[in-house]
Structure 1
Amino acid sequence: MYTHEKKVLTQGKPLEQSGKAIILIHGRGATAASILPLAHELGADDFTLYAPQATNNTWYPYSFMVPVAQNQPALDSALALIDETVKSIEAQGIASKDIYLLGFSQGACLTAEYATRNARRYGGLLILTGGLIGQQLDTGHYSGDFEGTPVLITTGDPDPHVPVSRVDETVQQMEGRGATVTRQVYPGRPHTILEEELALARKVLTS
């Protein structure tokens, strides 16, 4: 088991010029560098980009559907790295309503978990094939109010890693904390990101 080194790639305009940031969280086996180009596909050229890097390219060792304890201490360390990244942006004078989080697959699960444990008004949350973490959801971990934060959450049906049932549980928890959620399930879609998902994500970034 491991903890994550603090390694965050940045790209795009300086924060004092852009006034808004997007944190891109890569999937299992991928890299921060590999997810950064997604921002260009989303038309996020006016944003300052942050991409944390998982140690060993994996945020936590097992499926997000196993008991949380099995993914520790890596999971807590990953959540702490996201929190440090958010706080470093806020320390430069950017409010949470101008901070967006995007994750794919394992990174999407981490995005959902971090945001729901720290619910408030974010610019938007893009949870591309993911959901809240744990064999059963421990609602005692969740706190705050999303105050209408727009959320896009997607998966395939079936998806090899992210069941529709967990997406639905995640929607319920996030809506219960005041998020405005768009849920999209794509029959027969492989474990990837479709152009249609990118189009929906662009709407969140420009709303």
Structure 2
Amino acid sequence: MSSGSGPLRLGAKALEAKAICVFAHGRGQSPEAMQSHVLARLSAPSVAFVLPRAPSGSWWEARAIDPLTPVARAQLSAALDHLAAAVAAARGELPGLPLLLAGFSQGACLAIEYLCAGLPPPEAVAAFTGCRVGVPADGRAEALRAGVPVYLTGADADPWIPVSAFADAAQSLGRQRVSLRADLFPGRGHEVLDAEIAMLETMLADMTAGRTPRMEAAR
């Protein structure tokens, strides 16, 4: 385990790991919060977890649903560079293993933008309460590899990501022909439900078994 100013590393060691999960935290949160709220609820003994840490506690200052200003674009670009470096480092330390990129809230939005930016793709993505950053008029990138399994969630009661933004993300990912499962949870607040945890667990189980995630967990 490591913490401080760098990423938090948890789970299986190099000789035991069969898959990697890079998990990005939300606005004003920390890798340790994701450990206690999400990862501690998982059974994934063969997965090595890497939880990058936003330098200032948030990946960018604006809300994800606000139009992109020059400042927001620069901050998002820096966040993508940070995440890309974390993914590359994990790949370098554990070569040949499948990698799932995940995140919650602002971290989920960052994971979606990473995928859409055409950066070296993960084998799967789990975006818990995520959306595209900015608005369609911003001319956002849509350069991802077709067929990537993506699990996207949202809720009609979430104060940060409205249903319209969830739907916009689903449409954007659909245009790019990902293998998408999108679950909208009525009445859920800004949290990760047991059903979402179960889906992440089944996706990781598939990957540790050498299979493409089927995203078949019950809703």
How much does 1:107 deviate? 0.8
Indicate conservation of the 8 Å contact 1:19/1:94, yes or no. no
Indicate conservation of the 8 Å contact 1:127/1:153, yes or no. yes
Indicate conservation of the 8 Å contact 2:121/2:144, yes or no. no
Deviates more, 1:41-50 or 1:79-88: 41-50
* 1:51-101, Cα deviation, whole Å (9 max, x unpaired): 111122111111011122242432211111110011112223535x71111
Indicate conservation of the 8 Å contact 1:151/1:204, yes or no. no
How much does 1:203 deviate? 2.4
Question: Is it true that 1:85 corresponds to 2:86 in the alignment?
Answer: yes
Matching residue of 2:132: 132
Unaligned stretches of 5+ in structure 1?
1-5
Matching residue of 2:167: 168
Question: What percent of counterpart residues are identical?
Answer: 25
Cα distance in 2 for partners of 1:63, 1:125 equals: 21
Cα distance in 2 for partners of 1:192, 1:26 equals: 12
Secondary structure at the aligned position of 2:183 is classed as: strand
Unaligned stretches of 5+ in structure 2?
207-219
How much does 1:30 deviate? 0.8
Secondary structure at the aligned position of 2:79 is classed as: helix
Secondary structure at the aligned position of 1:141 is classed as: coil
Matching residue of 1:106: 106
Cα distance in 2 for partners of 1:202, 1:80 equals: 27
Secondary structure at the aligned position of 1:155 is classed as: strand
Could you say if the C-alpha distance between residues 137 and 201 of structure 1 is closer, same or farther in structure 2, counting changes exceeding 3 Å? farther
Matching residue of 2:201: 202
* TM-score between both structures, scaled by the size of structure 2: 0.82
Matching residue of 2:212: none
Cα distance in 1 for partners of 2:173, 2:48 equals: 26
Indicate conservation of the 8 Å contact 2:47/2:204, yes or no. no
Secondary structure at the aligned position of 1:166 is classed as: helix
Cα distance in 2 for partners of 1:140, 1:64 equals: 13
Cα distance in 1 for partners of 2:101, 2:173 equals: 15
Matching residue of 1:94: 95
Map 1:16-27 to 2 at 5 A: 16-27=15-26
Question: Which residue identity lines up with residue 155 of structure 1 in the other structure?
Answer: G
Cα distance in 1 for partners of 2:145, 2:43 equals: 28
Cα distance in 2 for partners of 1:203, 1:12 equals: 16
Indicate conservation of the 8 Å contact 2:115/2:144, yes or no. no
Indicate conservation of the 8 Å contact 2:27/2:57, yes or no. yes
Secondary structure at the aligned position of 2:76 is classed as: helix
Question: Which residue identity lines up with residue 23 of structure 2 in the other structure?
Answer: L
Secondary structure at the aligned position of 1:91 is classed as: helix
Matching residue of 1:192: 191
* 1:114-151, Cα deviation, whole Å (9 max, x unpaired): 112126663321111111100336455221314x2221
